[in-house]
Amino acid sequence: MRKAINASVRVVALLMTSTAFAQDALPGESLYNWKLASETLWRAVTVDPLGTDLKLSDRRVSEYMAVSSDEQRRMKVLLGYNKLLVRFRNEQDEADRARILSVLKSQQDSLHQAGLSIPELDNYFSGAGNENSAGVPVHQPTP
């Protein structure tokens, strides 16, 4: 019994340590898929899925800036970011839409300051006339 408990404690410690190290991983690095899996678990157990999604979108933007010169890695980040944009577009609550708009605008500003852009994000602010009553554009991001 003691050996089983020791083994279990070691496995849990290893998982926690790996998860902590994975949080800084970028696409193409060995722990990136572990990072994505831990984020999926995080979203599943959170009491604020939208808040978690907003934090995850900030992570994807940071990753995008870090790998912007590598087409393959950049595309992997964009796939994850676009999934979040689709979730944001489907949000029905007006207060949540305003929360989303604020975060997306901040992300867009950060990207522009770095000389970068994400076309799907820019579509949210393109003034195409497809906005809800809160002024949040409802464009469908391209995958």
**pLDDT 10s digits, 71-111:** 999 999 999 999 999 999 999 999 999 999 999 999 999 99
Q: Based on the domain organization, do 13 and 79 belong to the same domain?
A: no
Q: Based on the domain organization, do 64 and 41 belong to the same domain?
A: no
Tokens 């009491």 belong to residue? 47
Q: Based on the domain organization, do 78 and 106 belong to the same domain?
A: yes
Provide the domain count of the chain: 2
Domain, as residue range, for 137: 49-143
- Burial, 41: exposed, middle or buried (Cβ in 10 Å; 0-12, 13-18, 19+)? exposed
Say how many C-beta atoms besides its own lie within 10 A of residue 22's C-beta.
19
CA distance 15 to 18: 5
Q: Based on the domain organization, do 102 and 143 belong to the same domain?
A: yes
CA distance 86 to 131: 15
- How confident is the model at residue 17, as a pLDDT? 65
Q: Based on the domain organization, do 88 and 140 belong to the same domain?
A: yes
Say what the pTM is: 0.77
Tell me which residues of the chain have a pLDDT lower than 70: 12-22, 127-143
